[in-house]
Amino acid sequence: MSARAFRMKLKPGTVDEYRRRHDEIWPELSALLHDAGIFDYAIFLDEATLDLFAVLKLQPGETSAALPEHPIMRRWWDFMAELMEVEPGNQPKEWPLTQVFYMA
């Protein structure tokens, strides 16, 4: 098992809609993430900066690198693009975070 953390950024005025869409996450997207070996996935919001901090765990043999090419993932990114900063193709901009402390 390994962990991955990264930062993303919301656009002003989109917090409530971002929460709503994640509260209603598509079952097919949730299944896709689980099938790719992602679990224990949480996203935190810094309300002062609109930065999102995501932390997820990955199963051994995970296949998350293939997710950007999957149609369900692409459709989710298109659905979320109006709410957050994105790359061309609507993939959310991500800034990797480096672990500096861990306590089990």
Is-catalytic flag, 34?
A: no
How far is Cα 18 from Cα 6, in angstroms, rounded to an integer? 17
The catalytically annotated residue of 22, 25, 26, 95 is 22
Residue numbers annotated as active site: 22
